[in-house]
Amino acid sequence: MRRKEKETVQRSEIDKIINKSDVCRIAFTKDNLPYIIPISFGYDGNNLFLHTALEGKKIEFIEANNRVCFEFDTDVKTISHETIGCKWTTAYQSVIGYGIIYEITEKTERSNALNQIMLHYSGKEWEFTEKMLNNVRIWRIEIEEITGKKSNIEY
């Protein structure tokens, strides 16, 4: 990271940013073509979890290349300047990382992964029927590298 004074390396701070985020953006590549999407997610401190339809563009990209980049941001605010356009800036906290995405196929693991997603948004665990589990594909991103950044955040 070029601006080391903005870097967040403490995992506890990175976890706070992820846990405060509503959306994760995941970037895929296939045949030198990038594809980025916003997703709902779960996070257990080591892995990200997501679900997809049974088929579609995301799956095509995953099957072509299971290496991904992901991004979170929160507390985003534009800071204006009354007279100088180049003095405008943005306050934010963000996390960017890289990992490998794997499909989860075992029933208990699938249910646990969906619960990680639901815990993030609802704060509680849920029961999933066989039919519910069979209507989605469930994925785990094994995080290999992760870093955070804070800019113009006041505490």
* Domains, in order of start, for the chain: 4-151 (2.30.110.10)
CA distance 60 to 154: 42
Residues 56-72 have pLDDT tens digits of 999 999 999 999 999 99
Asked whether the CA dihedral 24, 25, 30, 32 is positive or negative, the reply is negative
Whether residue 97 contacts residue 146, with contact meaning beta carbons closer than 8 Å, is answered with yes
pLDDT at 1 over 60: no
- The mean pLDDT value of the chain amounts to 90
Count Cβ atoms below 10 Å from residue 92 Cβ, excluding itself: 18
pLDDT of residue 139: 98
Q: Does residue 18 have a pLDDT over 50? A: yes
Confidence of residue 6 (pLDDT cuts 50, 70, 90): low
Q: Which among 109, 42, 41, 99 is positioned nearest to 65, based on CA atoms? A: 99
- Average pLDDT of the residues in 21-34: 96
Per-residue pLDDT band for 51 (boundaries 50, 70, 90) equals very high
> What is the pLDDT averaged over residues 131-135?
92
Helix, strand, or coil here: 131? helix
Residue 81: which residues within 8 A CB-CB, separation 6 or more?
A: 87, 88
The C-alpha atoms of residue 155 and residue 150 are separated, in whole angstroms, by 11
Question: Are 51 and 117 a contacting pair, CB within 8 Å?
Answer: yes
Two tokens, residue 118: 């639901």
- Answer whether residue 153 shows pLDDT above 80: no
Read off the pTM: 0.88
**Enclosing H/E stretch for 43:** strand 42-43
| pLDDT reported for residue 155 | 43
